[in-house]
Chains A and B, each alone.
Chain A
Amino acid sequence: MVAFAVVQWSAFVTAPLKRRAQAKNMPETLPENTNAPDPAGPQSGTKRHPNAPLWIGFLVSVFAFLSYIPIFVKYPVTRDMPWASFLIFAIGLLFLFLGLRRAFRQPTVYRGKVAGPILTTLSVAALVFFCFTIFSLGKHLPASTQAPRVGQKAPDFALADTNGRTVSLATLLSAPAASHPTKGVLLIFYRGYW
């Protein structure tokens, strides 16, 4: 990896010097790089630089997509309107844009005319999917208009607890909680499949 970088940078540095030497018709004083192995493989005759912004942009976009659940969902300020995630996506897309510009304006210097559009499409797709998930799927809850209201009697039920015993609302209300008589019960309905 380091050798690769050194080769690239030395080519980058010596190229303008070589050009100047040729323009002045002076003999070349710097060693040619033709003996250095071409890490790009046999298909690229010219030693073009890898287009770092493209890869940085792609990785940043992927991070923006993946970081929402482990990091940002925990804080309401970044969860409900995920501005932090959008900001990271924007940074990623900016890098991709810069990388694409390099690839197409200087195709002899930078690689990425194929990888660039692919990575950009993937990143934009990740952003679109992210938006879809955040805004539409979060809203699709049933209206529950028939749910009992405050002041009404709570509907009874008879359900099995983790020990297999049948428990009804009446049981919950009559059995004492710890050492105090029961003042009430909090029913927490959850989705399940945790």
Chain B
Amino acid sequence: MQDFEKLGVKVAAISVDSPSESQDLCRKAGYTYTFLSDPDAEAIRRYDLLHRGAGVKGHDIARPAEFLVDSSGTIRWINLTDDLRVRARPDQMLQAASALASE
């Protein structure tokens, strides 16, 4: 994560978890980046990432996705996996961030 910070790219993780749940996750895993809570899935809906009923007890959650946004608010890189088992690898995200940072 410090790699991203060195490049000047902030990282924000968004899910339907509440701030306290995210805080627990943060502390247990030692993450240092920003965790945002979207319990009503508003932002998730705006990005069209809603995965209806896929959460525990049938809650709506986000499907996994990553968006790299530049300082003007324009999207520069997206990763939307087709398969839940395949996530963007950190080096892929870092590569996209480096490309952005070197502009």
Using CB atoms and an 8 Å cutoff, list the residues of chain A in contact with chain B.
73, 76, 79-80, 137-142, 144-157, 159-164, 167, 169-170, 172-173, 175, 177-178, 180-194
Contact = CB atoms under 8 A, between A and B. Distances in A.
Contacts of B10: 172-173, 175, 177, 182, 184-186
Interface string B25-61: 1100000001111100011101111111011100101
Contacts of B67: 148, 154, 186-187, 189
Interface residues of B, number: 70
Contact of B16 (A144, A147, A149, A192): A192
Interface in B13-32: 13-17, 19-23, 25-26
Contact of A189 (B9, B63, B68, B97): B63
Interface of B: 4-17, 19-23, 25-26, 34-38, 42-44, 46-52, 54-56, 59, 61-71, 73-78, 80-86, 93, 96-97, 100-101, 103
A183 B96 CA distance: 12
B64 A150 contact: no
A172 B4 CA distance: 14
A146 B45 CA distance: 9
Contacts of A79: 85
B39 to A, nearest CB: 9
B49 A189 contact: yes
Given A184-B97, A186-B10, A169 B34 contact: no
A161 B5 contact: no
